[in-house]
Amino acid sequence: MKRFGIGITVFALLVGISLIATGPAWSDKKGKHEEEANVADLAKEAKVTVDQAIKTATEKVPGTVVEAELEKKHDKTIWEVEIVGADGKVSEVHIDAATGAVIDVEDKKAEKKEGKKGKK
């Protein structure tokens, strides 16, 4: 009788662990689906293509583009283009997705250093 009780306990424990392990993966998929739908909506709003945004960004900050993504910031649809310069400096160039104008350029390393100083 004790063997049967231990077997059920072990089985229940394994089922519980598997549910815990797969729970976050399931919810993550839902989040990615919503994020993809959100990006599709932003793409409809953008008049500037990713190629145009990259061209504008690299004219402002020469270097290698490592990432370009469409985002909504301050009720504005923007292209955020991340560029690594020849000196190794990482910059983010924000391009207005409606007009193609450069909004600003952020130095990623300076931003991280400021964050570390504030935590001490």
What digits encode the pLDDT tens for the residues 103-117? 999 998 655 544 555
Determine the pLDDT at residue 31. 59
Domain residue limits, the chain: 1-45, 48-119
DSSP 3-state of 50: helix
> What mean pLDDT is predicted for residues 90-98?
97
Determine the pLDDT at residue 38. 82
Q: Which DSSP state fits 86?
A: T
Given its phi and psi angles, is residue 75 left (phi above 0), alpha (psi -120 to 50 degrees) or beta? left
pLDDT for residue 15 is more than 80: no
Pick the CATH number of 48-119 from 3.10.450.40, 3.30.43.10, 1.10.3720.10, 3.20.20.150: 3.10.450.40
Q: What's the predicted TM-score (pTM) here?
A: 0.63
Task: Report CA-CA distances (Å) from 87 to 61, 78, 92, 105.
Answer: 12, 26, 15, 16
Which residue, 104, 113, 62, 63, is CA-closest to 80? Answer: 104
What's the maximum distance between 2 C-alpha atoms anywhere in the chain?
Answer: 77
Distance CA 77, CA 66 (A): 20
Of 14-18, 39-43, 76-80, 98-102, least confident by mean pLDDT is: 14-18
What digits encode the pLDDT tens for the residues 31-82? 555 666 688 888 888 999 999 999 999 999 999 999 999 999 988 999 999 9
